[in-house]
Structure formats: C-alpha cells, structure tokens
Amino acid sequence: MKGGKKDRKDYFEVPYAALRCLVEPAFSERSVMTHSSYLKKAKVLISTAKITSSTQIITDDGEIVPYDFLVIWLSCMHAANSKVVAAQSILIMGGGPVAVEMAGEMVTDFADKKVTIVTASSQLLTFLGSKASNKCLKWFKSKKVDVIFNDKVNPDSKSGSTYTTNAGMKIEADIHFWCIGKPLRNTWIEESDFFEYVRDGEGHLKVDANLRLLNMSNVFAAGDITDIQEIKQGYLAGKHAGVVAENIKKLIKDPTRKDLFVGGLCKQLGLPK
C-alpha cells in the first residue's frame, strides 16, 4: 500500500499553537515539524489541487496522482501579526474560543497593553454555558480587559486608530484581530467534482457518520472542512483522524464492509447516525 500527502508547504504546523506563537515567537520551534520527519513511507507533494475527481487529483504543475482513498483535510486560515509587541492597544473581535484564548495570551505576556473584546453575543464562550462564561469574564476583569457584549465592529469603520461599533461606541486600538468565521482553505472545491457536496456558503463538505462524503465510498473529509455541528478545534480534528484511519483500514481489507460506525468516537463527535 502506498500513501501520499499533498500540501502547499513542506511542514506541519500545530494550528492551536499559533496563538501562543503570536506572543512567544520562540514557541514556534516546538510547533512546527517537516512532513518527512513523521511520514517515513509517504510521498509528499508540495502543491495545491487543481482538479479533484473520485479517482485522481491533478496538481498545479499538471502531475496526475491516482488514489484508492482520498482524505480531504483542510483547516481555517490564521494570520499572525508582527506588530503585537509594538502595539499598546489591541482590539479583538469575537467572543468564541479563539478570541478568548488570544486575549488571554495577550494579557498574560503583555500586562501593560490595553485589550478590548467586542462580541455580538450576550456572553463569552456561549457553547460552554453561563458558568464558564462568567468565570472567564471575571478573570478578564481582573486583568483590566474591556469586554463589550451585543455589539459588532466593522473593520472598515476604522479612522486612524479609532474603531466605531454598530452602537456608535468609539474604541482606540493600534491593531485588531478578526476572530469570527476564519475562511477555509477550500478555493479549489469550486473547480472539482466535489462542489456538489458543499453544504453552505463557507464551503463545508457534507459527511456521514463515517466521515465519508455523502454517497461516496472512498473519499473522506476531516477537520474544519466538515459540516459536523461542533466547535472547530484541534483536539476534535485528532478524533476525526482516528475515525478515518480505522475506516480506511477496514475498507482496504474488505471494500464491502458496512460496520464502519465507530460508536464511542462518533457519539463524542456528534456525528449523525
């Protein structure tokens, strides 16, 4: 059995370490590894997919790569900002896990910076409930972080270093971070045979309980690209990997196998039955 990996870069970067690297650049050395260091028997292609069908992919330079099984594993794009150290005031837009973690990293390493969070929700970390939200808010208040609820900021409203919320509030900030709906790396889907499997305008792919594209026997999807109703975090992507790997191993032994449902993991992932 031959395996391969196609990527636009020759290394893997732990995505949930990005926020720590933002305030501690040296940490990046521990969160990056070359593909060749852990994929000893795989062929790594540094390219993007131009066209994808149910039997092969075609790279940007025209190389045709046939496959028996395909796993589409795409994440959201995160941008770092080298101006963090120089900034005295920081505006963070969003109230989910990325926004909260980013704010926490900022005030932990740069206690002298003014951090403001603006969220359209009535509480932080809505999906975790009021207990976690209240505890988080209490901690932020102890760090002198301003949290503004039920409001939004349009980055285009910036005038100099002043941002204006929908409610008319003025916020001074040297830089801002948009932590709402990070775009997926999925522009190639529109030119592929998989466009019909797109669930929504953001490009999430429809998958079944086995993490296969609906009605496809040999194409899997994992990570942020799936339409599973869950928070998009790294530890859940790791669980996706376990489901996909086990199901592919079963199908290699017997392509007609139907017992692909991995009960415990699928229940934890919130997959459809």
154-168 per-position pLDDT tens digit: 878 889 999 999 999
For residue 7, what pLDDT is reported?
52
Q: Which of 247, 270, 269 is nearest to 258 (CA)?
A: 247
pTM for the model stands at 0.62
State whether CATH 3.50.50.60 applies to domain 47-78+183-269. Answer: yes
Question: Two tokens at 105?
Answer: 């990293």
For residue 24, what pLDDT is reported?
64
For residue 187, what pLDDT is reported?
65
Computed from CA positions of residues 134, 181, 163, 176, in that sequence, does the dihedral angle turn out positive or negative?
A: positive
50-85 tens-digit pLDDT = 666 788 888 878 888 899 999 887 655 454 545 787
Q: Which of 215, 210, 219 is nearest to 271 (CA)?
A: 210
Q: Is 157 helix (H, G, I), strand (E, B) or coil?
A: helix
- Which regions in the chain score pLDDT beneath 50? 1, 5-6, 77, 79, 81, 263-273
Domain range annotation of the chain = 47-78+183-269, 89-178
Same fold, 47-78+183-269 and 89-178: yes
DSSP structure class, residue 232: -
Distance between the two ends of the chain, CA-based, in angstroms?
31
Q: How far is CA 215 from CA 24, 57, 156, 243, in A?
A: 45, 19, 43, 17
- Pick 89-178's CATH classification: 1.10.540.10, 3.40.50.970, 3.50.50.60, 3.40.50.300: 3.50.50.60
For residue 249, what pLDDT is reported?
92
Question: Two tokens at 212?
Answer: 């296969």
Burial of 154 (0-12, 13-18, 19+ CB in 10 A): exposed
For residue 267, what pLDDT is reported?
46
